[in-house]
Structure 1
Amino acid sequence: MHKAYRFRLYPTQKQAKLINETIGCCRFVYNHFLAEWNQAYETTGRGLGYNECSKRLTALKQTLPWLKTPDSTALQNALQQLAEAFDRFFDGTSNAPRFKSKKHPNQSYTAQCNYPKNGRPTIEVDGHRLKLPKLQKQELSVPSASEQISAAVVAYIEKHFSEPITLDMLAQELRFHPDYITRCMQKTMGMGFSRYLAHYRLSKAKQWLAETNETIEAIAKRVGIDDGAYFSRLFKKMEGITPTEYRRMARRT
C-alpha cells in the first residue's frame, strides 16, 4: 500500500527559484529525450529505452552543466515517466507521448526518497518542516496564522469560484470575522477577498477563452458571473482588453 501526503509549502525565495528551475529542467529532459526517442524510432524502427536515455543524460550533463543544479532523481523520474508513457502507447492503452509545455497550468516534478545506510532519508517530515532533496539544507518556513487563513481562502475559492460566493459566506465557512480575513489576505497576498476572487475567475476565463469556442456569456457563467456584460467590463478593467480581443490575441500566439 502506498501513502500520499499533501502539503502547502512556503519556500524561501531561493527555494522557490530552485523548485522552478527543477521543474524546467525536468520538462527539458522529458522533451529532449522524447525527440531523440522519436528520431531513433523513425531511423531504426526501435525506441531508446530508459537505460539508454539515462546513459545519454549523464553525457548531456557534461554539455549542459545547468542540468546538474536540480535533484538528480527528479531528472531520472522524468525519464522513467517518458518510458512508461511509451509502454502505455505500445500496449494500446494511451496515445503517443506529447511534448510538455511550460504554459500548462499544472507544473510539477517527482523526487525520490532514498535511504542511505549512515544517514537520514532524503525526504521526511520533521515537525512543521518538510525535507526535500537539494532543499533540505534550507528550512522551509512555518506558515503564520495569516498565511494559514489566506491558504484556506485560496482553497475555498478554487473549489467554489463557479458559484455565487461572498466574503460573508466565506467567513461563515471558516468561522473568522470578515475583517480579520481581509487583514490576513492584505498582509500575505497584498489584496482582499473580492480582488483575489476576480483575479482567479479571470485566470480561468482566459484559459477557456484561449482553448474553447464557448461564447463569452457561457464562459462568464462558468466562472460564477451571470451577467455577461458585467463580465466583459470587469475583464476590460483588469486586463486592459476585452474578452474577444484576448481570445483573438491568444489564438494568434
Structure 2
Amino acid sequence: MMTQILYYLRTLTPVSCPAFPDDRRQSVSRQPSFTYSEWTDAKQDLFDLDSVPETPVFDCSMDMKPEADPVTLTVKPVGLQESRALDDTALQTEFYETPMNFVDPKEYNFPGVVRKNRYKTILPNTHSRVCLKTTDPDADFLSTYINANYMRGYGGQEKAYIATQGPTVNTVSDFWRMVWQESSPIIVMITNVEEKNEVGVPLQPPTPPRDCSFKCTEYWPEDTVVHEGIEIRVVQVIQADDYSLRIFSLKVCT
C-alpha cells in the first residue's frame, strides 16, 4: 500500500487550487504540522522502502476483462442535468434565477374553486393543467378541476410528469381520479407529513382547531379505501430510515 502511495505522489501533476474561504483556512491552520527534524526523519523512513515499480500496482487504463457482465463496468458520461445536480451552488443559482410564475386568480373565477386549492396564490397554469375526465354531460367546471399541471421531461418529452399540490381533505378523491386517469405508475411525495409548523392530517381526523394549518393530507389508506369508484389497496409498506415506500393496487369497483 505504501508503494502505491509513493507512486501516486511521484506521478501527481501539480494543479492550481482554489482559494479556501476564511473559515476553511482557519481549520487548516489548526492541523498538526511537522518540524524540520521530524520531516527529515519521516522522509528517511520513506527512502528506506522498496523502490517504486515502473508499472503501478493498479492502473485504471488496464484492459480489465472480468467474468461478470461487462455492462456492470460501463461508466456513462455525466449528463448536463446530473452535473448540475452535483453542484449545489449552480443548482441554487438556477433556482433563484427562474422567474416566478403566478397565475391571475381571475383565470379561475368559478364558484367553489377556492375549496380545491391549498394556497390562494398557487394556481395551475391554464395551458398545461390536468383536466379530470367525466362521463356526465352536465358536469360543471368544478368537477373537472384539480390543481395540477403536466410537465416536460428533461429530454423534452411532453407530459412526462405531473406536478400537483399536496392533497387536501376536499381533493383526495380528485387526486386518485387523476392517478387512475393518467395511469401514473409512481407517486413521489416531496413534502413531509410534518414540516416546520405545518402538520399533515389523516383523512378522517378529530376536528382540528380552526387556526391549524396542514401541509398534506394522508391520502393513502391504512389498508383499503374507495374513492370515486376506484378501490385503493395497500399491498406492501417498506419502511426505510428517511422515507416510506408503499405499493398500491388500484382497480375499478364493480
Question: Greater relative contact order (Cα 8 A, min sep 6): structure 1 or 2?
Answer: 1
TM-score with structure 2 setting the length: 0.23
TM-score (norm 1): 0.23
Structure number, greater radius of gyration: 2
